[in-house]
Structure 1
Amino acid sequence: MQKATGQDGGEAAVVGTDGTGPADASGLTGDGTGPLAGIVVADLSRVLAGPYCTMLLADLGATVIKVESPGGDDTRTWRPPVHGDMSTYFMSANRNKHSIALDMKDPEQLELVHRIVGEADVLVENFKPGGLAKYGLDADSVAERWPHLVHASITGFGTAAGAHLPGYDMLVQGVSGFMSLTGETDGPPQKGGVAMMDVMTGLHCAVAILAALREREGSGRGQHVELNLFMTALSGLVNQTSAYVAGGAVPRRMGNDHPSLFPYGPFACRDTDLIISVGNDRQFARLAEVLGMPELAQDEKFATMSARNENRDELRALMVGRLGERDAQQWQDELVEVGVPCAPILGVDEGIAYAEKLGLDPVADAGGVPTVRHPVDYSRTPARHVKAPPHLDEDREAVLAWLEGRGADCEG
């Protein structure tokens, strides 16, 4: 059986990778498999960034206890759409978890929160900076009382001058420059179609936790990792922020065009658009051949990527003129055959169907509920989809039994 340092620094038993132990007896570990089997996560986060992170950890075998307020995670009320009586938004980031509702303003219930945190390996929270101090769950208090814990804090704009700013994804899309880059050249700035900064922050948080757990193996102590949506956004803008920081160039909105590649985007065919993504000169030569215009690849105005970028308007007109003679599917079939990257523009429903066509099995059943499966395939320890997203306080008795099995007094 694996061991971790428990409450107040003492050693506490953690469920073994064979599924044995008190946690398994209370029904909190699922099938006891996965690369993170034996890791316990106290999830005090809500909305998307934190819950998405902890769902990924749960998919990989961690036991995740979702501690909610009596009113529940805000996203439980974000509806429609719904599946039965549950918000599909909430469902998207909360499978494989165990829900218990506790009011931290109540001393007895706060003590239960402390017991859960003390028996966990990881604490994830996204309270406003300073908001947990009155509950004895701020970074300093956690580090002193439970030195074994990996404590991950997510904020919107950090804990310095931006500590008072609310951390909503769209605000970060705005101030990071992302919206200034999104939309048509002559149109207004646009947000992305999904809360991208939340999702990216959740991914970074999962990586940070895994790194801190790895370091704990040698030191025996956890550490505090801090993430904020704003820095995640600036990092996630990759080539665009690099263009300014390293090159002094301020990126601009270009619609569906790419600042450094051409042709790279949707092009009108006879019936609909087809995305063509040419990443090098060899691919362009193949494209020109399929279009019946091989001379384009020899023309000095188009032969190199830099030349194509400089003369993109002229090249675009030539391509659209030829592409308009046939349907998108006909062009796609020929381009795929010669290795030119291309794809149609699909709706979400069509995207799921396309993934099924490619044998990617995008939908996984989690306790009788359809969910989008974990995206990583493991050769020996596959991700699991064993428990439906929980109703509020659904697992209260199981969590209390788990605490009792670990020697905690859970009366109240």
Structure 2
Amino acid sequence: MKPLDGVLVVSLEQAVAVPYATRLLADLGARVIKVERPDGGDFARHYDTACGEVSSYFAWTNIGKESLTLDLKHPAAREVLNRLVATADVVLCNLSPAAARRLSVDASSLRTVKPDLVIGELSGYGSPGPYESRKAFDALVQSEAGLVELTGEGDVTARAGISVADIAAGVQLQSAVLAALLHRSRTGEGATLQLSLFEAMTEWMHQPMLYAAGTGQAAPRTGAHHPSIAPYGPFPCADGAVHLAVQNDPQWRRLCTVLGRPDLADDPRFRTVSSRVAHRPALHPELDFTAWTSADLIEALDQADVPAARTRSVADLPDHPQLTARDRLAHVPLPDGAITVLRPPVDSTAWDWTPGPVPALGEHTDQVLHGLGYSAERIAALRAQSAI
């Protein structure tokens, strides 16, 4: 038995943030019914063609869900949604606040259908405020929250290579839903959860914000190196790069021994963490590992207890020796094939993870409607009306 067995989540979702939250709930056993537009569905289905009929984003965030197609502007479809919501425990939505009100799927409208619902509303910037009606996508939120300005090297800024604002929001929404379900089990009361992409991202920017407030300036952009620790970053080898993470002076001394340069350990410019940071331009040329292969250097650093890692390509991740040794890969069916995915990172002795397939658009529409008591004739009529 999984912890969310018997919990029904209805999600009016698209893109990444809320779909990721509901994917995490599905991993814990919730039945997730994803409501999609009949004319193409969630637009994230078509971001790329890396996974055949669906995009890599969609395949990642929609494992184990059911797809129900409804045209929420059609009165008959609204009746279907109301009947579905009446059976649900959780309803999540990341339509814009204005669109949610127009379609009567905002929290106040949904609560008239079922008062004890757990309702989660994700917006771009939150309401009220001068940004409440602005479009918000991951890269825009990264920029507004200061992450783009903080990331890069020298005068060059960079967007983080993954959708960190969406992921931050999805993880925090999932956590809040779990807390709200626990609250309901104790009190019988539902809850309305409101979250914005922007505030989810600003929470992750807390430490850089505190650093800037305490020092009077943002940390400098240092590429893959650390702004306040050195040596901490990638250094070239004969066949690639090794990422060092030397965080204290004993580790620094041991690194100098591996390098065959014990004199560096006592150089006044490099004796402490702060002095190494201050003299980083002079420090890096002294750390020459180009005669080493990355494998030999990692072995030597491991033996000397100096923290380091290989700098690998994400394309190599499915063959990473640690993942393969721990059997962290699984196969998940797609509408037109299958993909190899990573298992969730948390293992439990109380339940197992058994992934469901990624759904085709509208794959479960008839099944869901039958479960709500609709006859085959009525379903056919709804389809003829383009309500489903």
- Taking structure 1 as the reference length, the TM-score comes to 0.85
Report what 1:351 is aligned to: 317
Q: Structure 2: which amino acid aligns with 1:137?
A: V
Report what 1:272 is aligned to: 240
Report what 1:191 is aligned to: 159
Match of 2:145 among 176, 179, 183: 176
CA distance in 1, matches of 2:158, 2:250: 34
| 1:373–1:357 distance in 2 versus 1, CA, 3 Å | closer
Residue 325 (structure 1) aligned with residue 291 (structure 2) = yes
8 A Cα contact 2:221 2:227, kept in partner: no
| 1:358–1:372 distance in 2 versus 1, CA, 3 Å | closer
% of aligned pairs identical? 33
CA distance in 2, matches of 1:124, 1:246: 38
Q: Structure 2: which amino acid aligns with 1:173?
A: Q
Report what 2:202 is aligned to: 234
1:283-320 CA deviation, whole Å, 9 max, x = no partner? 22222221122343344433322222222222222112
What pairs with 1:59-98 in structure 2 (closer than 5 Å)?
59-71=27-39, 72-83=41-52, 85-98=53-66
1:218-269 CA deviation, whole Å, 9 max, x = no partner? 2211111111111111111242122124443223322222111111100122
Deviation at 1:205, TM superposition (A): 0.8
CA distance in 2, matches of 1:397, 1:144: 26
Report what 1:292 is aligned to: 260
Report what 1:377 is aligned to: 347
Match of 1:393 among 340, 344, 362: 362
CA distance in 1, matches of 2:370, 2:30: 18
8 A Cα contact 1:67 1:101, kept in partner: yes
Report what 1:29 is aligned to: none
CA distance in 1, matches of 2:370, 2:321: 41
8 A Cα contact 2:95 2:123, kept in partner: yes
CA distance in 1, matches of 2:199, 2:80: 34
Count of matched residue pairs: 372
Match of 1:134 among 72, 78, 102: 102
CA distance in 1, matches of 2:79, 2:215: 53
Residue 122 (structure 1) aligned with residue 90 (structure 2) = yes
Deviation at 1:44, TM superposition (A): 0.8
Q: Tell me the SS of whatever aligns to 2:325.
A: coil
8 A Cα contact 2:8 2:30, kept in partner: yes
| 1:208–1:247 distance in 2 versus 1, CA, 3 Å | farther
8 A Cα contact 2:323 2:329, kept in partner: no
8 A Cα contact 2:9 2:91, kept in partner: yes
| 1:288–1:57 distance in 2 versus 1, CA, 3 Å | same
Q: Structure 2: which amino acid aligns with 1:304?
A: T
Deviation at 1:271, TM superposition (A): 3.2
8 A Cα contact 2:37 2:71, kept in partner: yes
Any unmatched runs of 5+ in structure 2? 383-388
1:64-88 CA deviation, whole Å, 9 max, x = no partner? 00011112000112222233x2323
Residue 165 (structure 1) aligned with residue 104 (structure 2) = no
CA distance in 1, matches of 2:253, 2:320: 28
Q: Tell me the SS of whatever aligns to 2:210.
A: helix
CA distance in 1, matches of 2:88, 2:238: 59
Q: Structure 2: which amino acid aligns with 1:270?
A: A
Q: Structure 2: which amino acid aligns with 1:275?
A: H
CA distance in 2, matches of 1:245, 1:36: 42
Report what 1:19 is aligned to: none
Report what 2:284 is aligned to: 316
CA distance in 2, matches of 1:297, 1:115: 71
| 1:354–1:300 distance in 2 versus 1, CA, 3 Å | same
Any unmatched runs of 5+ in structure 1? 1-32
Deviation at 1:358, TM superposition (A): 5.1
Report what 1:304 is aligned to: 272
Report what 1:205 is aligned to: 173
Task: Report which stretch shifted further, 210-219 or 98-107.
Answer: 210-219
Task: Report which stretch shifted further, 71-80 or 296-305.
Answer: 296-305
Q: Tell me the SS of whatever aligns to 1:65.
A: strand
Report what 1:30 is aligned to: none
| 1:38–1:357 distance in 2 versus 1, CA, 3 Å | closer
Deviation at 1:147, TM superposition (A): 2.1
Q: Tell me the SS of whatever aligns to 2:10.
A: strand
| 1:355–1:328 distance in 2 versus 1, CA, 3 Å | closer
CA distance in 2, matches of 1:380, 1:91: 27
Q: Structure 1: which amino acid aligns with 2:317?
A: G
Q: Tell me the SS of whatever aligns to 1:404.
A: coil
Report what 1:151 is aligned to: 119
Report what 2:373 is aligned to: 404
| 1:114–1:248 distance in 2 versus 1, CA, 3 Å | farther
CA distance in 1, matches of 2:143, 2:233: 24
8 A Cα contact 1:355 1:362, kept in partner: no
| 1:376–1:104 distance in 2 versus 1, CA, 3 Å | same
